[in-house]
Amino acid sequence: MNRINRLFQNKNKDILNIYFTAGYPGLNDTEKIILALEKSGADLIELGMPYSDPLADGPTIQESGQVALANGMTLKTLFNQVQSVRESSEIPLVLMGYFNQVMQYGEERFFKKCAEVGIDGLILPDLPMDVYESDYKKMIEDNGLTISFLITPQTSEERIIKTDELSNGFVYMVSRSSITGAKSDIENQQIEYFNRVNAMNLQTPKLIGFGISSNETFTTACQYANGAIIGSAFIKALPKEGAVESAVEGFVERILGKVSNVV
Amino acid sequence: MTYKIDPRGYYGEFGGAFIPEMLYPNVEYLRKNYLDIINEPAFQKEFRALLKDYVGRPSPLYFAKRLSAQYKTNIFLKREDLNHTGAHKINNTIGQILLAQKIGKKRIIAETGAGQHGVATATVCALMGIECIVYMGAIDIKRQAPNVARMRMLGAKVIPAISGSQTLKDATNEAIRDWINNPEETHYIIGSVVGPHPYPDMVALFQSVISEEMQWQLKEQTGSPDPDIIVACVGGGSNAAGAYYHYLDKENVRLVAVEAAGLGVDSGESAATSVLGTKGVIHGSRTLLMQTEDGQIIEPYSISAGLDYPGIGPMHAHLIDSGRAEAVSVTDKEALDAAFHLTRIEGIIPALETAHAFAALDKIKFSEKDNIVVNLSGRGDKDLETYIKYLDEQVDK
Ligand SMILES: Cc1ncc(COP(=O)(O)O)c(C=O)c1O
């Protein structure tokens, strides 16, 4: 069974999913960060493929992508790093990136390679659901990968149902109408949206992301979904140079409330 | 075979809407409603009246006698430079501001390269009393300063895009991010035939007034509504789309798309997308774009801010890929020389973008009896600093 589905079978609440950009801050930090995240208690990792023009991302993730590309990060290197880390890690890995990257690698070749190196799932925010259904669903399923589509406060009920049908890892509940890394408290308006979606009793687990940055916001998000996704705040916590391990561990401990939020 | 949009929002294999979910509700609303809104008689009436009385249409089709004599053929200039604000861009912004009002939007955002689309957007926002924010690459802000001043005078807020190459591509990224952050009140007026469906078709429809007029103007002047050749520069491709539109399916009319080669197609400093580009996705549309093997978008270069873009609209990708249109690339220097040539032989100072179209006359084949229309997409006031610098360099040599 796919590691993502196994995770949700064994644990259905308080799931901590951490996003970071592969090859940031250093080209060879990818594996170190994955291992440190696993050790310190993250449940799931979203590995970002750095992209020159990430439309849905705010400055923090954009800049980390620029640094990673300048470090020489490529898809080939990324796949090698994942393959290597799989010798010592079983944490579920979701690859997140833009559809153009998949297209240039060759869609079928890309999905095969993901499965081969030990990627479990995909998030491709600019791949439309109808194109996925007609052109790629079978290819992705045949390679044993999951896919997660996004919903936002503006997504219609009909479309949420469709998202639930097509997503098979988790549904990515974008907490607010924004790019990544926006301001970080959870307001009443968002809670109403979370409640509205919860009342629909979706079959797929849900993770809330965008603007989750602290123990407080993580805990709140976990009340309304199976867990939450943290990206920009984690990237900000990484040192620009030097060893990453202690920063990773300290961050996860703060989010999980194992130490006080005050550093 | 048709070269217009198909019901799925594609031109052949190009087009579509590859957008994150955050943009879906707005883009989907437009997709479902744009044709009904545009085709409504009341909308058409208002649109046509503004084009006539505010923009100053029809724009003349001028037979360029001396240029024709020199090239030993018949060259007509479609004078989009004479429109209010000085380029074709306002045809589209008039249409989109009316549409934005119909759908109740209160805030307008736009991207701009040369600043012509920014000025045209700021103008219609002033006309309608709507808030206007224009994203512009930091490099373009420097090289198109007169247009930045015009936008500010018109009351628009110009926000520099400081990522990437700090040009049109990056301004477009920032505008899209703004729209993601402000989905409810805001309409995004895209300035060219790029972006997710329905934008390429919507912008082409608003610009199609150019070829609509060409038909009767040519008939009056030559006896036939059809020219032999239409030449236009292509950044994203909106002036070309407008000039081609009513001739797309008339295969006897040759379509020439002129791209910016920058310092030369093989120099590494170029924006000749149809030569250097491969199939991929940029700004929500499947098209041709300049990219690495890994799908990273390559920073383009052209002296002309309006052509300095690593993609082309999906309509043009299809026209070129299918062989319907010929692509020609023109370097910075060739464009500069063509600008001076046109100015001195016809007394018309073209925009740097437009100058590329005139340089193409040296690169295409035609006969003595051909009727050629060059779409004179804009005037060169904004480029005087660049032109005079070039002139001084020539004098120094
Ligand atoms: C005068 C003029 N012509 C052409 C262009 C290129 O745009 P498009 O290819 O959409 O016509 C611009 C863009 O700024 C322009 O200002």
Is the CB of residue A36 less than 8 Å from the CB of residue A178? no
User: Pick from B223, B267, B262, B225: which is nearest to B247 by CA?
Assistant: B225
Q: Identify the pLDDT of residue A261.
A: 47
Let me know if B208 is a catalytic residue. no
What percentage of chain A has pLDDT greater than the value 90? 92
pLDDT digits (tens, 9 = 90+) for B307-333: 999 999 999 999 999 999 999 999 999
Read out DSSP for B183-233? TTTEEE---SS-SSTTHHHHHHHHHTHHHHHHHHHHHHHHS-S--SEEEEE
pLDDT over 70 at B169, yes or no: yes
Rounded to a whole number, what is the distance in angstroms from the first to the last CA of chain B? 53
CA-CA distance, A47 to A50, in Å (whole number)? 9
Is the CB of residue B83 less than 8 Å from the CB of residue B90? yes
Contact A151 B294 (CB under 8 A): no
Higher pLDDT, B357 or A261: B357
Q: Is A127 on the interface with B (CB under 8 A)?
A: yes
pLDDT digits (tens, 9 = 90+) for B330-352: 999 999 999 999 999 999 999 99
Is the CB of residue B254 less than 8 Å from the CB of residue A63? no
Structure tokens of B89? 């861009």
Instruction: Give strand pairing partners of A146.
Output: A121
Residues B244 and B346 occupy one common structural domain: yes
State the average pLDDT over residues B30-53: 98
Number of residues that this document lists for chain B: 397
How far away is chain B from the Cα of A179, in angstroms, using its nearest Cα?
6
How far away is chain A from the Cα of B166, in angstroms, using its nearest Cα?
12
Q: Is A162 on the interface with B (CB under 8 A)?
A: no
Residues B299 and B153 occupy one common structural domain: no
Higher pLDDT, A182 or B266: B266
pLDDT over 70 at B236, yes or no: yes
In the reported structure, the alpha carbon of residue B282 is separated from the centroid of ligand 1 by a whole-number distance in angstroms of: 18
Contact B294 A104 (CB under 8 A): yes
Confidence label for B300 from pLDDT (cuts 50, 70 and 90): very high
Domain contains B385? yes
Q: Identify the pLDDT of residue A263.
A: 44
Looking from the CA of B275 toward its CB, the CA atoms found within 13 Å total 20
CA-CA distance, A101 to B85, in Å (whole number)? 39
Contact A52 B281 (CB under 8 A): no
Residue with tokens 């505010």: B54
Domain contains B272? yes
Q: Is B293 on the interface with A (CB under 8 A)?
A: yes
Sign of CA dihedral A33, A38, A40, A44: positive
Q: Is A58 on the interface with B (CB under 8 A)?
A: yes
Q: In the listed set B179, B202, B225, which residue is the last one of a domain according to the structure?
A: B202
State the average pLDDT over residues A54-64: 94
Domain contains B227? yes
Which of B177, B181, B194 has the most A C-beta neighbours within 10 Å, making it the best mutation to test the interface with A? B177
**Residue B286 Cα distances to B19, B123, B196, B282, angstroms:** 11, 31, 9, 7
What percentage of chain B has pLDDT greater than the value 90? 98
CA-CA distance, B282 to B266, in Å (whole number)? 22
CATH code for the domain in which residue B119 is found:
3.40.50.1100
Instruction: Give strand pairing partners of B279.
Output: B288
Is the CB of residue B96 less than 8 Å from the CB of residue B189? yes
Q: Identify the pLDDT of residue A260.
A: 55
Confidence label for A12 from pLDDT (cuts 50, 70 and 90): very high
Sheet holding B186-188, edge to edge: B157-161, B131-137, B107-112, B186-188
Residue with tokens 């020489």: A72
Q: Identify the pLDDT of residue B163.
A: 87
The verdict on the CB of residue B147 being under 6 Å from ligand 1 is no
User: Pick from B115, B104, B118: which is nearest to B139 by CA?
Assistant: B115
Q: Identify the pLDDT of residue A54.
A: 96
Residues B335 and B380 occupy one common structural domain: yes
State the average pLDDT over residues A245-259: 94
A36-40 own/partner pairs: CB under 8 Å, 24+ apart: A36/A244, A36/A245, A36/A248, A36/A249, A37/A91, A37/A248, A37/A252, A38/A89, A38/A90, A38/A91, A39/A249, A40/A248, A40/A249, A40/A252, A40/A253
pLDDT digits (tens, 9 = 90+) for A153-197: 999 999 999 999 999 999 999 999 889 987 778 889 999 999 999
User: Hey, whose CA ends up nearest to atom 10 of ligand 1?
Assistant: B238
Structure tokens of B236? 């994203």
Residues B306 and B330 occupy one common structural domain: yes
Is the CB of residue B78 less than 8 Å from the CB of residue B239? no
In the reported structure, the alpha carbon of residue B191 is separated from the centroid of ligand 1 by a whole-number distance in angstroms of: 9
Sheet holding B10-11, edge to edge: B10-11, B14-15, B285-289, B278-282
Q: In the listed set B176, B202, B228, which residue is the last one of a domain according to the structure?
A: B202
Residue with tokens 């920063």: A247
The verdict on the CB of residue B311 being under 6 Å from ligand 1 is no
In chain A, where the domains are located: 3-255
Which residue type, as a one-letter code, is found at position A235? I
Residues B167 and B283 occupy one common structural domain: no
**Is residue A2 packed enough to be buried (19+ CB in 10 Å), middle (13-18) or exposed (0-12)?**
middle
pLDDT digits (tens, 9 = 90+) for B203-232: 999 999 999 999 999 999 999 999 999 999
3-state secondary structure of B316: helix
Instruction: Give strand pairing partners of B186.
Output: B107
Q: Identify the pLDDT of residue A1.
A: 82
Is the CB of residue B334 less than 8 Å from the CB of residue B363? no
Q: Which strand (E) or helix (H) includes residue A111?
A: helix A107-117
Rounded to a whole number, what is the distance in angstroms from the first to the last CA of chain A? 39
Domain contains B117? yes
> Which residue range(s) make up the domain with B77?
56-86+208-396
User: Pick from A56, A216, A148: which is nearest to B23 by CA?
Assistant: A56
pTM metric for this prediction:
0.97
User: What residue in A sits closest to B292 (Cα-Cα)?
Assistant: A104
Residues B107 and B152 occupy one common structural domain: yes
**Residue A125 Cα distances to A132, A138, B11, angstroms:** 11, 18, 23
State the average pLDDT over residues A97-118: 98
Q: How many helices (H) and strands (E) would you count in chain B?
A: 16, 14
The verdict on the CB of residue B59 being under 6 Å from ligand 1 is no
Class of A3-255 per CATH?
alpha beta
Q: Is the peptide bond before B310 cis (omega within 30 degrees of 0)?
A: no
State the average pLDDT over residues B348-358: 98
In B, which residues are within 8 Å of A74 by CB distance?
A: 294
Domain contains B5? no
Domain contains B171? yes
Residue with tokens 């208002």: B46
Read out DSSP for B145-179? HHHHHHHHHTTPEEEEE-STTSSHHHHHHHHHHHH
3-state secondary structure of A183: coil
Express the helix, strand and coil content of chain B in percent, nearest 5 each. Answer: 50, 20, 30
pLDDT digits (tens, 9 = 90+) for A115-155: 999 999 999 999 999 999 999 999 999 999 999 999 999 99
Q: What is the ipTM of this complex?
A: 0.95
Q: Is the peptide bond before B183 cis (omega within 30 degrees of 0)?
A: no
Residues B262 and B364 occupy one common structural domain: yes
What percentage of chain B has pLDDT greater than the value 70? 100
Residues B345 and B366 occupy one common structural domain: yes
In B, which residues are within 8 Å of A128 by CB distance?
A: 16-19
Confidence label for B164 from pLDDT (cuts 50, 70 and 90): confident
Which residue type, as a one-letter code, is found at position A24? Y
CA-CA distance, B25 to B28, in Å (whole number)? 5
Residues B71 and B144 occupy one common structural domain: no
Contact B19 A128 (CB under 8 A): yes
Least CB–CB distance from B20: residue in A101, A125, A156: A125
Let me know if B367 is a catalytic residue. no
Q: In the listed set B186, B202, B218, which residue is the last one of a domain according to the structure?
A: B202
User: What's the structural domain count of chain B?
Assistant: 2
CA-CA distance, B86 to A23, in Å (whole number)? 47
Domain contains B74? yes
pLDDT over 90 at A113, yes or no: yes
Residues B60 and B159 occupy one common structural domain: no
Residues B367 and B273 occupy one common structural domain: yes
pLDDT digits (tens, 9 = 90+) for B273-295: 999 999 999 999 999 999 999 99
Q: Name, in order, each residue with C-beta under 8 angstroms of B132's C-beta and a sequence gap of 6 or more.
A: B108, B109, B110, B121, B122, B125, B126, B154, B155, B156, B157
Residues B153 and B63 occupy one common structural domain: no
